[in-house]
Amino acid sequence: MRSSAADRTRPTVWDGLVVLVILLLAGALFAALLPKETGGSLTLLVTLDGEEIGRYDLDEAAEGTLVTIEAPYPMTIELSPRGVRVAETACPHGDCAAAGWIDRAGEQIVCLPNRLILSLEGEETTDIDVVIG
């Protein structure tokens, strides 16, 4: 004996409704997990060997402002109202320069040979700590 469902070859209205509900739920989940903009001002905190050596308000920085940091391996950082990057470094591997721009509160660039940390501080950080995959 055959089922009546086996005779159907076309999707029904209910099938379309189920697909629509799944798409709406997926879209809502995607929107909920998007990183939120900080909306506030960003401050760069420069720490060398555990000691604060500089603090820069990025809102006041002109585009392309260069700051030289005297460390065991001298480096130059570039400040912008949008973010910070290591422009030049004399450290052996240059991983800190390869990190590129950081532009959100909570992000960091770390130079291990210099024992230097560039941290962005702001009014709000994102809820997501790690993304795997």
Taking only the tens place, the pLDDT of each residue in 27-50 is 999 988 876 654 568 899 999 988
pLDDT of residue 122: 83
Distance from C-alpha of 110 to C-alpha of 48, rounded to nearest angstrom: 10
Q: What pTM was computed for the model?
A: 0.62
Domain membership flag for residue 38: no
Tell me: do 10 and 47 sit in the same domain: no
| Interior/surface letters 98-131, b for 16+ CB within 10 angstroms, e for the rest | ebeebbbbebebebebbebbbbbebeebeeeeee
Domain membership flag for residue 128: no
> Does residue 115 sit in helix, strand or coil?
coil
Tell me: do 26 and 49 sit in the same domain: no
Tell me the per-residue pLDDT of 78-133, one tens digit each, with 9 for 90 and over: 998 888 999 999 888 888 888 899 988 889 999 999 899 999 988 754 556 666 75
Domain extent, residue 110, equals 43-121
Domain membership flag for residue 13: yes
Structural domains in the chain (count): 2
pLDDT of residue 29: 92
Do residues 99 and 119 make contact, with C-beta atoms less than 8 angstroms apart? no
Domain membership flag for residue 72: yes
Tell me the per-residue pLDDT of 61-71, one tens digit each, with 9 for 90 and over: 888 889 999 88
> Does residue 112 sit in helix, strand or coil?
coil
Tell me: do 64 and 108 sit in the same domain: yes
Say how far residue 13 (Cα) sits from the centre of its chain.
42
